[in-house]
């Protein structure tokens, strides 16, 4: 089983728990709590070594995670999930599991992810208009990720799943060049 398959399995299990009708924890809250724990985990090399090392007993790891969870006010559901990762020696895969969990929860809630690259930083009105137009085109609610690539000259490129919407000047020039070469 590849690491991605392992991450997906754990992420699906947590998604099953937090999307259940009687769950005390909303999926968005679970993502936020796990991201907060991940930030604490990534900020300390000592903590990473302690939680990943097989030389540190599981009960000690649980104690450390419990204290961090108390400080971050992490819910019982998220805390128990972190304990499961400790028990199955998957703490080193935490970032990948969280990313997989976010994607699974978004898919269950009807969201798609859009990666938008523009020639310059987009202002909030531009982002809102672009988001609205892409949602209209796809018929889906979108979570947008923005990046800047000055080589686009102008405009933007949006990638939603395997579909690419190229509204960049570079893309238009390339398209015109191909059409001219064909004729």
Domain assignment of residue 56, given as a range: 3-107
Average pLDDT of the residues in 117-137 = 91
Segment (H or E) for 42: helix 27-42
Are residues 102 and 130 located together in one domain of the fold?
no
The pLDDT tens digits of the residues spanning 9-64 come to 999 999 999 998 888 999 999 999 999 999 999 999 999 999 999 999 999 999 99
pLDDT at 148: 93
- Indicate whether 97 and 38 sit together in one domain: yes
The pLDDT value given to residue 138: 86
CA–CA distance, 39 with 44 (Å, rounded to integer): 9
For 97, the token pair is 């599991």
Domain end among 75, 107, 139? 107
Clarify whether residues 91 and 160 are in a common domain: no
Give mean pLDDT, residues 138-160. Answer: 88
Examine the pLDDT at 3 and tell me if it is beyond 80. Answer: no
Half-sphere exposure of 154 (CA within 13 A, CB side): 3
d(CA 130, CA 118): 11
Same domain, 120 and 150: yes
Residues 156, 125, single domain; the answer is yes
Whether 69 and 122 map to the same domain: the answer is no
Q: What is the pLDDT of residues 141-150, one digit of tens each?
A: 998 999 999 8
Same domain, 130 and 96: no
In the chain, % of residues over pLDDT 90: 63
Taking only the tens place, the pLDDT of each residue in 72-93 is 999 999 999 999 999 999 999 9
* Residue that finishes a domain, picked among 107, 133, 163: 107
12: β partners? none
Looking at the 3D structure of the chain, how many domains does it have? 2
Mean pLDDT computed over 161-178: 84
Task: Report how far residue 24's alpha carbon sits from residue 34's, in angstroms, rounded to the nearest whole number.
Answer: 16
């Amino acid at each position: 089983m590849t690491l991605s398959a392992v991450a997906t399995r754990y992420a699906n299990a947590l998604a099953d728990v937090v999307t259940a009708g009687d769950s005390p924890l909303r999926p968005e809250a679970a993502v936020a709590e796990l991201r907060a724990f991940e930030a604490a985990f990534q900020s300390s090399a000592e903590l990473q070594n302690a939680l990943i090392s097989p030389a540190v007993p599981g009960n000690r790891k649980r104690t450390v995670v419990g204290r961090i969870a108390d400080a971050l006010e992490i819910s019982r559901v998220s805390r128990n999930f972190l304990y499961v990762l400790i028990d199955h020696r998957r703490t080193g895969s935490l970032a990948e599991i969280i990313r997989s969990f976010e994607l699974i929860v978004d898919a269950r809630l009807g969201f798609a992810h859009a990666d938008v690259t523009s020639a310059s930083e987009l202002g909030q009105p531009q982002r809102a208009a672009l988001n609205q137009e892409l949602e209209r085109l796809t018929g889906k609610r979108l979570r947008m990720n923005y990046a800047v690539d000055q080589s686009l000259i102008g405009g933007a490129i949006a990638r939603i799943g395997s579909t690419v919407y190229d509204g960049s000047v570079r893309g238009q020039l390339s398209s015109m060049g191909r059409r001219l070469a064909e004729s």
